[in-house]
């Protein structure tokens, strides 16, 4: 990435950060909503026989937290951001400048990426201390973080392409918010499901990211298994990016 592109992204980050701070209610969403979801999921997981399936609650909660935060703090927020900025004609004006389309989208989302990363790091550290879990494969966790961010941004752009107005964002994001955690091992670990179902759900969009995060603390994935999950995540990311490239609108529909 060249210097002008980096400068454009920094500028867009500062603008979005300023707008974010003007609405103090944003902090409620950023801090309390994910915590409420995590406590709820902890209760649900306590009702499962995790030990019988060889699952450690510490790494499991870390991967659950990462998945929840990626969906709620990054995907849903960035989808709404893209649609709102399109309705305000901000994206159309930005395209008349020197910044490329990719820089415009990445720069606009960079503030929410930073928020999501900070949330994940803080929660992961807190859970590691609470459960006495020490990361065994930090590179796997880092790969999970990178694949998750790229996937959520591509999904957000693809979803925004389907939204006519800002009001339709809530409806358009519902499938990912409710279905994706159920099939990706976020709410329900795949190990507690029938074997064939669990194996099939490995190919769900966010499953590789969740597996990589958990392996960061358990060390359960070998090099080949980690590589397979990175390839699956990259394939889903490429698919959503292709949809976004073909269907994304830079100005309101008339």
User: Mean of the pLDDT values across residues 223-233?
Assistant: 96
pLDDT of residue 38: 66
Which is more confidently placed, 26 or 199?
A: 199
Q: How confident is the model at residue 27 (pLDDT cuts 50, 70, 90)?
A: confident
Q: How confident is the model at residue 252 (pLDDT cuts 50, 70, 90)?
A: confident
- pLDDT tens by residue, 1-15: 677 778 888 888 898
Cα(118)–Cα(131) distance, integer angstroms:
20
User: Mean of the pLDDT values across residues 47-74?
Assistant: 79
Which residue, chain included where needed, has tokens 């800002």?
Answer: 166
pLDDT of residue 228: 97
pLDDT of 153 above 90: yes
Which is more confidently placed, 240 or 7?
A: 240
pLDDT of 101 above 80: yes
Task: Enter the tokens of residue 117.
Answer: 């990363």
DSSP string, 74-88: IIHHHHHHHHHHHHT
* Among 96-100, 165-169, 183-187, 237-241, the range of highest mean pLDDT: 237-241
- pLDDT tens by residue, 173-221: 998 999 999 999 888 888 888 889 999 999 999 999 999 999 999 999 9
Please report, for the chain, the start and end positions of each structural domain, with discontinuous segments joined by +: 3-247
Which is more confidently placed, 199 or 35?
A: 199
DSSP string, 49-69: -TGGGT--HHHHHHHHHHHHH
Residue 156 Cα distances to 131, 194, 240, angstroms: 33, 31, 9
pLDDT of residue 37: 67
pLDDT of residue 52: 62
Q: Within 13 A of 153's CA, how many CA atoms are on the CB side?
A: 21
pLDDT of 46 above 70: no
Cα(179)–Cα(185) distance, integer angstroms:
11
Mean pLDDT, the chain, rounded, equals 87
């Amino acid at each position: 990435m060249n210097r002008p592109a980096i400068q454009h992204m920094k500028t867009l980050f500062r603008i979005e950060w300023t707008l974010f701070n003007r609405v103090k209610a944003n902090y409620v969403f950023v801090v309390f909503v994910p915590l409420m979801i995590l406590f709820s999921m902890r209760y649900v997981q306590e009702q499962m026989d995790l030990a019988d399936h060889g699952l450690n609650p510490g790494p499991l909660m870390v991967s659950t937290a990462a998945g929840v935060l990626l969906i709620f703090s990054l995907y849903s927020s960035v989808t709404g951001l893209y649609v709102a900025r399109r309705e305000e004609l901000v994206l159309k004006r930005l395209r008349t400048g020197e910044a490329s389309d990719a820089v415009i989208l990445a720069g606009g989302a960079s503030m929410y990426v930073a928020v999501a990363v900070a949330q994940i790091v803080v929660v992961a550290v807190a859970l590691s201390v609470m459960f006495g879990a020490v990361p065994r494969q930090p590179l796997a966790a880092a790969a999970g973080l990178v694949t998750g961010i790229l996937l959520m941004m591509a999904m957000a752009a693809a979803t925004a392409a389907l939204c006519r107005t800002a009001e339709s964002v809530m409806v358009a994001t519902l499938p990912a918010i409710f279905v994706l955690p159920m099939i990706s091992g976020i709410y329900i670990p795949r190990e507690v499901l029938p074997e064939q179902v669990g194996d099939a759900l490995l190919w769900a969009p966010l499953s590789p990211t969740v597996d990589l995060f958990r392996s960061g603390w358990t060390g359960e994935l070998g090099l080949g298994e980690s590589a397979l999950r990175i390839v699956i995540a990259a394939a889903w990311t490429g698919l959503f990016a292709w949809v976004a490239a073909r269907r994304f609108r830079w100005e309101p529909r008339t």
